[in-house]
Structure 1
Amino acid sequence: MTDRGASTFYVSVQAIGTAREPFLIDTGSSYTAINESLLAQLVDARQVEYLKDLEGTLADGSTQIVPLYNIKSLMVGERCLLSDVRAAVFPGKTRNILGLSALRPAAPFGFSFDPPRLTLSHCQTPQAGIAGSR
Structure 2
Amino acid sequence: MAAPHEAIGILVAVAFFTLLAASPATFAADAVTVPMKDKGADTFYVDVHVEGVGVLDYLVDTGAGYMTINEDVLSLLQARDQAIYVRRLRGIMADGSTHVVPVYRIGSINIGGVCRIDDVEAAVFPGASRGLLGLSALRKAAPLMFSIEPPLLQMTNCAAPGPPGVDAITHAPISLMPLARDLVQAGE
TM-score (norm 2): 0.66
Q: Which residue of 2 aligns with 1:83?
A: 118
State whether residues 141 and 155 of structure 2, in contact with CA within 8 Å, keep that contact through their aligned partners in structure 1. yes
Q: Say which of 101, 106, 130 aligns to 1:66.
A: 101
For 1:51, give the aligned amino acid.
V
What's 1:10 paired with? 45
TM-aligned CA deviation for residue 130 of structure 1: 7.5
C-alpha offsets along residues 20-71 of structure 1, whole Å, 9 cap, x if unaligned? 0001000000011111111111112221100111111111111111000001
Judging by fraction of residues, say which structure has more helix: 2
1:41 aligned to 2:41?
no
Percent identity between the two aligned chains: 48
Find the residue that maps to 2:154 and give its secondary structure: strand
Aligned residue for 2:64, secondary structure, equals: coil
Which residue of 83, 91, 105 maps to 1:56? Answer: 91
Q: Distance in 2 between matches of 1:10 and 1:67?
A: 24
User: Which of residues 117, 121, 124 in structure 1 aligns to 2:156?
Assistant: 121
Choose which of 146, 151, 154 in structure 2 pairs with 1:111.
Answer: 146
Q: What's the Cα RMSD here?
A: 1.4
Matched, 1:32 2:67: yes
Greater gyration radius? 2
Q: Which residue of 1 aligns with 2:57?
A: 22
Range with greater deviation from structure 2 (22-31 or 118-127) = 118-127
Which one scores higher on RCO, CA 8 angstroms, separation ≥ 6? 1
In structure 1, distance between residues paired with 2:78 and 2:49: 14
Separation in structure 2 between the aligned mates of residue 26 and residue 126 of structure 1, nearest angstrom: 22
Q: CA separation in 1, counterparts of 2:102 and 2:51? A: 21
Q: Distance in 1 between matches of 2:95 and 2:47?
A: 26
Distance 1:9 1:45 in 2: 30
Which residue number in structure 1 is paired with residue 29 of structure 2? none
Count of residues paired in the alignment: 130
Counterpart in the other structure of 2:184: none
Richer in strand (by share): 1
2:108, 2:164 within 8 Å by CA — same for their partners in 1?
Answer: no
Instruction: State the match for 2:132 in structure 1.
Output: 97
DSSP 3-state at the match of 2:88? strand
